[in-house]
Chains A and B, each alone.
Chain A
Amino acid sequence: MRYSFLALAANALRGHRRWRPAWRSPQPQRGYEVVIVGGGGHALATAYYLAKLHGVTDVAVLERGWIGGGNTGRNTTIVRSNYLHDANAHFYEHSLKLWEGLSRDLNYNVMFSPRGVLNLAHSDGQLETYSRRGNAMRMNGIDAVLLDREQVRAMVPDLDCSPQARYPVHGGLLQPRGGTARHDAVAWGFARAASALGVDIIQQCEVTGIRVEAGRVQGVETTRGYIGASKVAIAVAGHSSRVAAMAGVALPIESHVLQAMVTEPVKPFLDTVVTSGATHLYVSQTNKGEVLLGGDIDGYNSYAQRGNLPIVEDVLRAAVSLFPRLSRLRLMRTWGGIMDMTMDGSPIIGKLPVGGLYLNGGWCYGGFKATPGSGWVFAHTVAHDEPHALNAAFSLERFWSGHLIDEKGAGATPGAH
């Protein structure tokens, strides 16, 4: 069923009793052309673009829990493409362009809200580096505006821009086309569209092994039996190491826990996304009015979807120093998700050294904004057995060839993003 004003009105008159489930829940078949491990936004986007753009509809998406129940539902919903290096800039800008037309493409409102993403500069030196990054972005055709302190103050009146602020604001780099999207809707929209094109979405089906013979993938062992597959595509960021290990592939990844939190809801006061690299803070206000806060990873290997209090205190300290009036709000909820932290801070999207096995992972903090772009390039990679030009640089082999995409310039540090 296509969603439209007429469908909404007709169902409203019938008491909303005739809506059908948005996607099918079939039993797994004995084999598929492509099995996608994982049922988050990236996996569902991959399935959708495989079916829509490459004509590959014999596809199963295998999800251990429920779709969108992992990192897709745990992020801070920020969408942006404000990167310095060419490989990142081109890839994330392609993703941002897909975001801009996504609700129409999927016939599902993903509530993409280009409210702008503002990076604060707390010193002249930082403003200089933002100037450099902004110029690099504009050279790559991406929107970037360098703001001085007064422009930042006018845009975010509640920000402490006074000279005596603990972290004085010297200006900022704004990407006006960046913003936020409704993360659950992204998973549900891709699931609905993929299912309509013939993709089988199978929930509560955990992959427990990958069968490899003569260097080529044969299928996957699951909690619901063996499923054969010509190609297996892994999109399980957070657990990429564990699933790749099933096929004997080691990855340059550590899993870490990243926390986020919301305050009680308040009236609208913040109509953009504010980030501060120096204090490492992300702030936005959700459509429900909650102030949504994110910061650093806890800093030690973890597969627990919960973190510890020191980092919560750290995030709140930064938030209150930048927005003093937040001090009177109560925190309503904190949660954590597991991040694949790669050794250069950039994702891995490409072939693995086993025939027919592909990896989409290593997203560090930054997977959500990439969802449509990641699915788009990963579908191309799986369908053609070779990467698209947009993800060729994100190969696993780059760690041995020396072509790292080290956006932070920090070396082998599983803490960059």
Chain B
Amino acid sequence: MLLIPCPHCGPRAQVEFAYGGDATVARPVDPDAVGARQWLDHVYLRENPKGPHLEWWQHVAGCRAWIRVRRDTVTHAVLGAATAAGSIEGGAS
């Protein structure tokens, strides 16, 4: 079981969280400035890295906040966590 360090509640079991996917996917800032192709890239394409992965989790059975977690997709080790707007120690963003 993953142990996820919620920045609000402390270390909690994975079953308290819902997964929200890749947190590096950025919605186009100006919707009118991009075409359909770029919108569809945003909706569908994922880098899908093998190794460290920045991802969203929602602490649904706790503070209900969305948090960002950096986790290794090969070892499942949780490398760090931060609030949605915060930064994760030891890594970019």
Report which A residues bind B (CB closer than 8 A).
239, 241-242, 250-255, 299-304, 308-310, 343, 399-400, 412, 414
B45 at the interface (CB under 8 A from A): yes
Whether B45 and A299, one on each chain, are in contact in the complex, defined by CB atoms closer than 8 angstroms, is: no
For A251, the chain B residues whose CB sits under 8 A away are 45-46, 48
A-B pairs with beta carbons under 8 Å apart, 17 shown: A241-B46, A241-B47, A242-B48, A250-B45, A250-B46, A251-B45, A251-B46, A253-B48, A255-B48, A300-B71, A303-B74, A304-B73, A308-B14, A310-B15, A343-B44, A400-B37, A412-B44
Report the nearest A residue to B76, measured CB to CB: A304
B1 at the interface (CB under 8 A from A): yes
Does more than half of chain A's interface fall in helix, strand or loop, or is it mixed?
A: mixed
Please report the C-alpha to C-alpha distance between residue A255 and residue B47 in the assembled complex, in whole angstroms.
10
For B71, the chain A residues whose CB sits under 8 A away are 300
Whether A308 and B48, one on each chain, are in contact in the complex, defined by CB atoms closer than 8 angstroms, is: no
B21 at the interface (CB under 8 A from A): yes
Query: Quick one: CB contact mask for B7-32 with A, threshold 8 Å, 1 for yes?
Result: 00000001100010110000000000
For B15, the chain A residues whose CB sits under 8 A away are 310
Please report the C-alpha to C-alpha distance between residue A309 and residue B14 in the assembled complex, in whole angstroms.
10
From known contacts A303-B73, A304-B73, A304-B76, infer whether A253 and B50 are also in contact, taking CB-CB under 8 Å.
no
For B19, the chain A residues whose CB sits under 8 A away are 299-300
Whether A399 and B46, one on each chain, are in contact in the complex, defined by CB atoms closer than 8 angstroms, is: no
Least CB distance, A209 to chain B, in whole angstroms: 15
From known contacts A241-B48, A254-B48, infer whether A301 and B43 are also in contact, taking CB-CB under 8 Å.
no
Report the nearest A residue to B36, measured CB to CB: A400
Please report the C-alpha to C-alpha distance between residue A176 and residue B37 in the assembled complex, in whole angstroms.
43
Whether A412 and B43, one on each chain, are in contact in the complex, defined by CB atoms closer than 8 angstroms, is: yes
| 16 other A-B residue contacts (CB within 8 Å) besides A252-B46, A255-B50, A300-B2 | A241-B48, A251-B45, A251-B48, A252-B45, A253-B48, A254-B48, A255-B73, A300-B55, A300-B71, A301-B21, A301-B48, A301-B73, A309-B1, A399-B40, A399-B44, A400-B37
Least CB distance, A404 to chain B, in whole angstroms: 9
For B59, the chain A residues whose CB sits under 8 A away are none
Please report the C-alpha to C-alpha distance between residue A250 and residue B38 in the assembled complex, in whole angstroms.
13
Whether B50 and A303, one on each chain, are in contact in the complex, defined by CB atoms closer than 8 angstroms, is: yes
Least CB distance, A4 to chain B, in whole angstroms: 45
Most buried by B among A241, A253, A299, A300: A300
Sorted from nearest, which 6 A-B pairs have the closest CB atoms?
A: A252-B44, A241-B48, A300-B19, A303-B50, A343-B44, A250-B45
For A343, the chain B residues whose CB sits under 8 A away are 43-44
Interface residues on chain B, number (Cβ under 8 Å): 25
Residue pairs across A and B with CB atoms within 8 Å: the count is 64
Does more than half of chain B's interface fall in helix, strand or loop, or is it mixed?
A: mixed
Most buried by B among A242, A250, A253, A303: A303
Least CB distance, A392 to chain B, in whole angstroms: 20
B68 at the interface (CB under 8 A from A): no
For A303, the chain B residues whose CB sits under 8 A away are 50, 73-74
Least CB distance, A296 to chain B, in whole angstroms: 12
Whether B47 and A304, one on each chain, are in contact in the complex, defined by CB atoms closer than 8 angstroms, is: no
Whether A301 and B76, one on each chain, are in contact in the complex, defined by CB atoms closer than 8 angstroms, is: no
Among B2, B21, B43, B47, point to the contact of A308 (Cβ < 8 A). B2
For B46, the chain A residues whose CB sits under 8 A away are 241, 250-254, 414
Please report the C-alpha to C-alpha distance between residue A117 and residue B53 in the assembled complex, in whole angstroms.
38
Among A253, A301, A309, A412, point to the contact of B55 (Cβ < 8 A). A301
Whether A304 and B75, one on each chain, are in contact in the complex, defined by CB atoms closer than 8 angstroms, is: yes
From known contacts A254-B21, A299-B19, A399-B40, infer whether A304 and B74 are also in contact, taking CB-CB under 8 Å.
yes
For B37, the chain A residues whose CB sits under 8 A away are 400
For B45, the chain A residues whose CB sits under 8 A away are 250-252
Please report the C-alpha to C-alpha distance between residue A254 and residue B15 in the assembled complex, in whole angstroms.
21
For B48, the chain A residues whose CB sits under 8 A away are 241-242, 251, 253-255, 301
Among B1, B22, B44, point to the contact of A310 (Cβ < 8 A). B1
Most buried by A among B22, B50, B55: B50
Query: Quick one: CB contact mask for B63-90 with A, threshold 8 Å, 1 for yes?
Result: 0000000010111100000000000000
Whether A310 and B14, one on each chain, are in contact in the complex, defined by CB atoms closer than 8 angstroms, is: yes
Please report the C-alpha to C-alpha distance between residue A251 and residue B43 in the assembled complex, in whole angstroms.
12
Least CB distance, A406 to chain B, in whole angstroms: 12
Please report the C-alpha to C-alpha distance between residue A241 and residue B46 in the assembled complex, in whole angstroms.
9
Least CB distance, A328 to chain B, in whole angstroms: 26
For B41, the chain A residues whose CB sits under 8 A away are 250
Most buried by A among B19, B48, B75: B48
